[in-house]
């Protein structure tokens, strides 16, 4: 099988592991820098060029699209889909998951547990937004943030009001969520492949940081999920239409609540915490599913 991966940095742990797993299983594996691809959008001849050469025929594409190039990356991925190349995650599903507001709306529609989340346009509605979110402390999130960047904990009504009004005054879109205090600075990352949870870890934030992202100095360890947590993770992936994703959850007093569904989850933390060959399982999934013309929208909306 011929596999191409869209990735700007081939030296990241996750990307090297995927390449290694594919080659160990006898597949041809190429990596292309997403932003250096360009396209010929012609009727019935949707070509993609890279380094002044037309890319050959591939059986599968693994999109590892950085958040900063989501728009262009999805355009390139759609071009592969137009050629009949099977995507590990399809463009429509990635677009859903990258839009925090839309993803929360889709999860809520499907009855998946969420923290109370509010969204408003007018900074004059700050007090109403705070009331709906349950009052301080609250978490303020930029819609476009990743890896814990653009996530602020406001521990008083006064600070929350100042933060919200500052962001909205600068015309920056934000979500305001209730703070799940009982989670104690930890969250759960469940790795879903083909609708099944195949690995899970508990992430604990660095000292004095309520965010548990490993990129920000957090630590990870193996964890056993409850049946409800497994079901929540699988349903979240299905709501987004993602074949492979990381579902981030908190343990609240009223059950698991989903914080985010990540369409390009990092593999290093969860492979080392669980000892599971995640990269190999991703390639195995492609071996079973990658057939020309099988691109379709898995989720609704």
Sequence-distant contacts of 219-226: CB under 8 A, at least 24 apart:
220/189, 220/269, 220/270, 220/272, 220/273, 221/273, 222/273, 222/274, 222/275, 223/188, 224/200, 225/188, 225/190, 225/197, 225/200, 226/256
| Residue 166 maps to a domain | yes
Structural domain boundaries enclosing 160: 117-179
**Per-residue confidence (pLDDT) for residue 109, from 0 to 100:** 96
Q: 68: domain CATH number?
A: 3.40.50.20
pLDDT in tens, the chain (301 residues): 999 999 999 999 999 999 999 999 999 999 999 999 999 988 778 899 999 999 988 999 999 999 889 999 999 999 999 999 999 999 999 999 998 899 999 999 999 999 998 887 766 677 788 888 888 888 888 876 555 567 888 888 888 888 888 887 777 788 888 888 888 888 999 999 999 999 999 988 666 655 555 555 567 889 999 999 999 999 999 999 999 999 999 999 989 999 999 999 999 999 999 999 999 999 999 999 987 667 666 655 5
Of 133, 166, 130, which is closest to residue 150 (Cα–Cα)?
166
DSSP state of 48: E
Q: Are 222 and 274 in contact (CB under 8 A)?
A: yes
Task: Identify whether residues 24 and 168 lie together within a single domain.
Answer: no
| Residue 293 maps to a domain | no
Q: 161: domain CATH number?
A: 3.30.1490.20
Distance of alpha carbon 170 from its chain centroid, rounded? 26
Q: Are 298 and 88 in contact (CB under 8 A)?
A: no
Distance of alpha carbon 234 from its chain centroid, rounded? 14
Task: Identify whether residues 73 and 168 lie together within a single domain.
Answer: no
The number of folded domains in the chain is: 3
Flag whether the pTM goes above 0.85.
yes
Class of residue 254 by CB neighbours under 10 A (exposed 0-12, middle 13-18, buried 19+): exposed
Domain end call among 147, 179, 211: 179
Gap between the Cα atoms of 1 and 30, Å rounded: 11
Task: Identify whether residues 81 and 100 lie together within a single domain.
Answer: no
Residue 236: CB atoms within 10 Å: 28
**Per-residue confidence (pLDDT) for residue 165, from 0 to 100:** 80
């Amino acid at each position: 099988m011929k596999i191409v991966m869209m990735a700007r940095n081939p030296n990241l742990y996750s990307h090297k592991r995927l390449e290694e797993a594919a080659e160990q299983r006898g597949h041809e594996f190429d990596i292309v820098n997403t932003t250096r691809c360009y396209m010929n959008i012609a009727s019935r001849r949707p070509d993609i060029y890279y380094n002044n050469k037309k890319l050959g025929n591939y059986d599968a594409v693994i999109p590892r699209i950085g958040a900063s190039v989501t728009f262009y990356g999805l355009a390139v991925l759609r071009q592969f889909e137009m050629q009949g190349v099977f995507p590990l995650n399809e463009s429509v599903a990635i677009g859903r998951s990258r839009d925090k507001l839309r993803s929360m709306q889709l999860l809520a529609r499907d009855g998946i547990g969420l923290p109370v989340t509010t969204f408003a346009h007018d900074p004059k509605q700050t007090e109403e937004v705070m009331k709906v979110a349950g009052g301080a402390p609250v978490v303020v999130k930029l819609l476009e943030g990743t890896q814990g960047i653009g996530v602020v904990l406001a521990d008083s009504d006064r600070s929350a009001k100042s933060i919200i009004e500052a962001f909205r005054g600068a015309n920056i879109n934000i979500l305001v969520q209730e703070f799940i205090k009982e989670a104690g600075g930890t969250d759960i990352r469940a790795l879903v492949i083909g609708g099944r949870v195949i690995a899970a870890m508990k992430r604990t934030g660095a000292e004095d940081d309520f965010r548990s992202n490993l990129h920000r100095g957090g630590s990870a360890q193996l964890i056993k999920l409850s049946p409800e947590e497994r079901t929540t993770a699988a349903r979240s992936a299905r709501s987004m239409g993602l074949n492979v994703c990381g579902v981030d959850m908190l343990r609240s007093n009223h059950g698991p609540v989903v914080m985010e569904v990540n369409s390009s989850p990092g593999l290093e933390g969860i492979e080392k915490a669980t000892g599971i060959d995640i990269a190999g399982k991703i390639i195995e999934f492609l071996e079973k599913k990658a057939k020309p013309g099988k691109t379709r929208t898995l989720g609704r909306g």
